[in-house]
Amino acid sequence: MSFTLQHTDKNTRARAGVLKTPHGDIHTPVFMPVGTQATVKTLTGEELIRCGAEIILGNSYHLYLRPGAEVINSAGGLHTFMGWGRPILTDSGGFQIFSLSVNKKIKRDGFEFQSHLDGSRHFLTPEKVVEFQTVLGSDIMMPLDECVSYPATRDYVEGSLEITHEWAKRSKKQLTANRYPLTANPLLFGIVQGGTYLDLRKRSAEEIVNIGFDGYAIGGVAVGEPEDIIHEITSYTAAFLPADKPRYLMGVGTPEDIVRAIEAGMDMFDCVVPTRNGRNGQAFTWTGELQLRNALYKTDPKPIDETCDCYACRNHSRSYIRHLFNTEELLGLRLVSLHNIRFYVTLIQQIRQAIIEDRFAGFMREFFARRLKN
Amino acid sequence: MSFTLQHTDKNTRARAGVLKTPHGDIHTPVFMPVGTQATVKTLTGEELIRCGAEIILGNSYHLYLRPGAEVINSAGGLHTFMGWGRPILTDSGGFQIFSLSVNKKIKRDGFEFQSHLDGSRHFLTPEKVVEFQTVLGSDIMMPLDECVSYPATRDYVEGSLEITHEWAKRSKKQLTANRYPLTANPLLFGIVQGGTYLDLRKRSAEEIVNIGFDGYAIGGVAVGEPEDIIHEITSYTAAFLPADKPRYLMGVGTPEDIVRAIEAGMDMFDCVVPTRNGRNGQAFTWTGELQLRNALYKTDPKPIDETCDCYACRNHSRSYIRHLFNTEELLGLRLVSLHNIRFYVTLIQQIRQAIIEDRFAGFMREFFARRLKN
């Protein structure tokens, strides 16, 4: 068994566990910084390790287009290519085909699409996607699925589910058949879809669990639906996922989203928010967000967050970081990205401790109260 | 005495020394990374220290416009503002007024100009410039001077010299009168001008030395004149500078330029080349420059330079760095900037050792031979 459930909070569904992967153990709940193009934007691997990141995410769609399988294969996989020795989870590319590519067309056998970069034509099957992830040497692989847009008709979602479930089976078969993946014994997760239809979410969860995977993801959320619906789907669906496997909520979210999802029993999260918003000068703190471009911080000698131990907070003032954004200096993007990643990791580390000590409900109340203060 | 001349090479004019400044000792020859807007572009102070940088340069013109005296004063000076505890040399802004500002006009009393950023009007006198540098808390200050463009008539240069020399006197007087500078006992250097007229260079050197400064700079070179002229002026002028004071060649240059200037007896250098070229993907090595965007490096697993101990070379391949440039990832700019700074610092550290051991001439021969190989 790759996953050990250490403790479930007495008063909520929140869980603490350990997931064993080929490149090391991950303590759940866990936040996975997004390394879209083989780099977590603006940061080095050393900085991520200092932030406490145990695993990062890579995007198959982007890596497939650039630098492509040949370059990564020649480097001996994504870990070596990008100089990152800890675990990597890679998505299947399904979400980016859905959100980025042009002229995409779903067929029974796979996705036909054109690259958003140069219009080049591609056809990706579930088998090819698993094969590409074995070239990457991913520790945790995701099967190709269709991420249905919001809103979608019930008929469309039902038809889409059939394809997603069939692709899930084919992906599992392909990984089993692939005898010599670069990373020995990679994990493969199943993805539950079903749009905003709770009964379809239930059906999808049951069918995916029935196929049997190393972990289970909830996909197709945070695609434009209201926040409450994200939470309703997550909370409802999580209940159908086996307790002895890790549960991954894909692409979510804000600190609040993550806290609520942990309450619902989810374990793993990835989101571009800390880095993307960081590059826009938005810093996360325990009392809410700061927009560091704001003239309010012109001479503010305080760090972003006085309780934070990141490099930015130990060495630099809000005034200095504002100046960096004001003068378009790249160091500003680095410092706030770094701080935000550290904030997310610290948050989730504190949550884990609270779960282990059966005080997550109180932690959550205090967290929401403080965050609203700002 | 702030400067100790440790050794002069037996076969050339190259020197090794130690310069004491309020924020620490500098071992000369020394390369000063350029931190134009209170940041050496893309890099942190910690990275600069790891690169072995002992001192950085700040640009008064840029800092005067943004963030301005109020913000830096409120932070308690430039060191605190940017989180850099080692020495800082600041220029006077004369060169940037010359090269960046609009509608500039030199008057007997100072420079009238408009900001290149917003067209705002400013008038800077030698006194104001020294005062601003005391707000910065600079360890080494430079007096306001006129950087004459190339080519310039002899008449123009002669007239300009009179102003530069008068401003030098006024700057010294202003610093002496300024009783409580933020940094106690800052150093003030004199700047030798004179364009490409050797006899005017000599006259300027004599007059500036006669005023008496803590160190002497050669200014107004590398403003568009051919390389050989830069070298001729440097070599000729250096001979008129006192042996017991540090000698600074402003804004120079390529590794070759620096090696030749050290041969001529110069001690201190600053240049944007390692960081600016780094951001364009050009990496310096002992066998010449690499353009890392080049398809040649698509799958090249080697580091930029196998003999280099910088973070980029210890952790990343040319193939990976090429991918970062290809996908416009900011980490690429960081890695090559970092490597180039480390290359410059390593070069100058090796030169210093060669001087101390009286083998600089041999070092120089080998250096030029290897660099031409590529």
Looking at residue A125, which CATH number applies to its domain?
3.20.20.105
pLDDT at A373: 64
HSE value, Cβ hemisphere, 13 Å, CA-based, for A75: 33
Instruction: Please judge whether B67 and A326 are an interchain contact, meaning their C-beta atoms are less than 8 angstroms apart.
Output: yes
| Residue in chain B lying closest to A334 (CA) | B42
- What's the sign of the alpha-carbon dihedral B167, B172, B177, B181? positive
pLDDT at B374: 54
Instruction: Please judge whether A37 and B329 are an interchain contact, meaning their C-beta atoms are less than 8 angstroms apart.
Output: yes
Residues B369, B23 contacting (CB under 8 angstroms): no
Phi/psi for B273 (5° steps) reads: -55, -50
Instruction: Please judge whether A39 and B331 are an interchain contact, meaning their C-beta atoms are less than 8 angstroms apart.
Output: yes
**Which own/partner contact pairs does A292-299 have at CB distance under 8 Å and 24+ positions apart?**
A292/A318, A292/A321, A292/A322, A292/A325, A292/A332, A292/A336, A293/A322, A293/A325, A293/A326, A294/A322, A297/A321, A297/A322, A298/A322, A298/B67, A298/B71, A299/B70, A299/B71, A299/B74, A299/B75
Give residue-wise pLDDT tens across range B78-101.
Answer: 999 999 999 999 999 999 998 888
Residue B151 preceded by cis peptide, ω within 30? yes
Q: Give the residue among B235, B265, B271, B266 at the shortest CA–CA distance from B252.
A: B271
Strand partners, A181: none
Residues 38-67 of B with CB under 8 A from A: 38-39, 41-46, 66-67
B232 and B293 assigned to the same domain: no
A176 and A73 assigned to the same domain: yes
For residues A33 and A274, give the distance between their C-alpha atoms in angstroms, rounded to a whole number. Answer: 8
Query: What residue has token string 């996360």?
Result: A284
B305 and B250 assigned to the same domain: no
What is the helix (H) or strand (E) element at residue B189, kind and residue range? strand B187-192
Q: How many CB pairs under 8 A join A and B?
A: 108
* Chain B contact for A327 (CB, 8 A cutoff): yes
pLDDT at B373: 64
Q: What is the DSSP letter of A287?
A: T
B233 and B341 assigned to the same domain: no
Residues of chain B contacting residue A312, judged by C-beta atoms under 8 Å apart: none
pLDDT at A1: 75
Q: Is A87 exposed, middle or buried (0-12, 13-18, 19+ CB in 10 A)?
A: buried
The token pair that represents A57 in the structure block: 């995410």
**Predicted-assembly ipTM surpassing the 0.90 threshold:** yes
Tell me whether residue A109 is one of the annotated catalytic residues: no
pLDDT at B273: 97
| Residue in chain A lying closest to B321 (CA) | A82
To the nearest 5 percent, what fractions of chain A are helix, strand and coil? 45, 20, 35
Query: What residue has token string 């692939």?
Result: A178
**Residue after which a domain boundary falls, among A271, A298, A324:** A271
Where in the sequence is the domain holding A48, given as residue range(s)?
Answer: 3-271
pLDDT at A374: 54
* Chain A contact for B115 (CB, 8 A cutoff): no
CA distances from A34 to A24, A225, A253 (A): 18, 22, 12
Tell me whether residue A9 is one of the annotated catalytic residues: no
Question: Could you say which of A9, A145, A270, A305 is catalytic?
Answer: A270
**Residue after which a domain boundary falls, among B237, B271, B305:** B271
- The SS3 assignment for A326 reads helix
Residue B226 preceded by cis peptide, ω within 30? no
Q: What is the DSSP letter of B34?
A: B
pLDDT at A181: 82
Residues A125, A110 contacting (CB under 8 angstroms): yes
| Residue in chain B lying closest to A45 (CA) | B315
Q: pLDDT per position in chain B (374 positions), as tens?
A: 799 999 999 999 999 999 999 999 999 999 999 999 999 999 999 999 999 999 999 999 999 999 999 999 999 999 999 999 999 999 999 999 988 889 999 999 999 999 999 999 999 999 999 999 999 999 999 999 999 999 999 999 999 999 999 999 999 999 999 877 888 999 999 999 999 999 999 999 999 999 999 999 999 999 999 999 999 999 999 999 999 999 999 999 999 999 999 999 999 999 999 999 999 999 999 999 999 999 999 999 999 999 999 999 999 999 999 999 999 999 999 999 999 999 999 999 999 999 999 999 999 999 999 998 65
Would you list the DSSP string of B122-182? EEE-HHHHHHHHHHHT-SEE--------SS--HHHHHHHHHHHHHHHHHHHHHHHH----S
* Chain A contact for B301 (CB, 8 A cutoff): yes
CA distances from A57 to A309, A350, B147, B342, B372 (A): 24, 22, 52, 31, 43
Section A1-27 average pLDDT: 97
A97 and A218 assigned to the same domain: yes
Query: What residue has token string 């085909």?
Result: A97
* Chain A contact for B20 (CB, 8 A cutoff): no
Sheet with B3-8: strands ordered across = B3-8, B15-21, B24-28
Question: Could you say which of B91, B139, B214, B267 is catalytic?
Answer: B91
Between residues A330 and A102, the one the model is more confident about? A330
Section A170-185 average pLDDT: 90
A248 and A362 assigned to the same domain: no
| Residue in chain A lying closest to B299 (CA) | A71
A61 and A128 assigned to the same domain: yes
Phi/psi for B290 (5° steps) reads: -115, 135
Residue B22 preceded by cis peptide, ω within 30? no
3-state secondary structure string across A27-93? EECEEECECCCCCCCCCCHHHHHHHCCCCEEECHHHHHHCCCHHHHHHHCCHHHHHCCCCCEEECCC
Residues A189, A216 contacting (CB under 8 angstroms): yes
Shortest CB distance from A74 goes to which of B83, B299, B316?
Answer: B299
Instruction: Please judge whether B334 and A334 are an interchain contact, meaning their C-beta atoms are less than 8 angstroms apart.
Output: yes
Give residue-wise pLDDT tens across range A341-371.
Answer: 999 999 999 999 999 999 999 999 999 999 9
Q: How many CB atoms lie within 10 A of CB B365?
A: 10
Q: Give the residue among A292, A278, A290 at the shortest CA–CA distance from A334.
A: A278
pLDDT at A241: 98
- Whether the full predicted model's pTM is greater than 0.90, yes or no, is yes
Q: How many domains does chain A have?
A: 2
A291 and A261 assigned to the same domain: no
For residues B197 and A292, give the distance between their C-alpha atoms in angstroms, rounded to a whole number. Answer: 50
- What's the sign of the alpha-carbon dihedral B346, B352, B354, B356? negative
Residues of chain B contacting residue A323, judged by C-beta atoms under 8 Å apart: 37-38, 66-67, 71, 81
Instruction: Please judge whether A66 and B327 are an interchain contact, meaning their C-beta atoms are less than 8 angstroms apart.
Output: yes
| Residue in chain A lying closest to B44 (CA) | A331
* Mean confidence (pLDDT) of chain A: 96
Place A156 in a pLDDT band, splitting at 50, 70 and 90. Answer: very high
Interface test with A, best of B44, B335, B338 (most A CBs within 10 A): B44
**Residue after which a domain boundary falls, among B230, B249, B271:** B271
Q: Is A157 exposed, middle or buried (0-12, 13-18, 19+ CB in 10 A)?
A: buried
B260 and B278 assigned to the same domain: no
Nearest CA distance, B290 vs chain A (angstrom): 19
Q: What is the DSSP letter of B76?
A: T
Give residue-wise pLDDT tens across range A271-284.
Answer: 999 999 999 999 99
Residues B21, B189 contacting (CB under 8 angstroms): no
Q: What is the DSSP letter of B296?
A: G
Residues of chain A contacting residue B75, judged by C-beta atoms under 8 Å apart: 299, 301, 317, 319-320
pLDDT at A130: 97
Q: How many CB atoms lie within 10 A of CB A158?
A: 14
pLDDT at A115: 94
* Chain B contact for A71 (CB, 8 A cutoff): yes
Q: Give the residue among B50, B40, B36, B34 at the shortest CA–CA distance from B312.
A: B50
* Chain B contact for A75 (CB, 8 A cutoff): yes
* Chain B contact for A324 (CB, 8 A cutoff): yes
B213 and B344 assigned to the same domain: no
Shortest CB distance from B75 goes to which of A41, A46, A319?
Answer: A319
Shortest CB distance from B320 goes to which of A41, A82, A334?
Answer: A82
Q: Give the residue among B268, B214, B219, B266 at the shortest CA–CA distance from B245.
A: B214
Q: Give the residue among B273, B290, B258, B288 at the shortest CA–CA distance from B364.
A: B258
A132 and A264 assigned to the same domain: yes
Question: Could you say which of B9, B145, B214, B270 is catalytic?
Answer: B270
Q: Per-residue b/e over A173-200, b at no fewer than 16 CB within 10 Å? A: ebbeeeeebbbeebbbbbbbbbbbbeeb
B212 and B294 assigned to the same domain: no
Phi/psi for B8 (5° steps) reads: -115, 130
What is the helix (H) or strand (E) element at residue B28, kind and residue range? strand B24-28
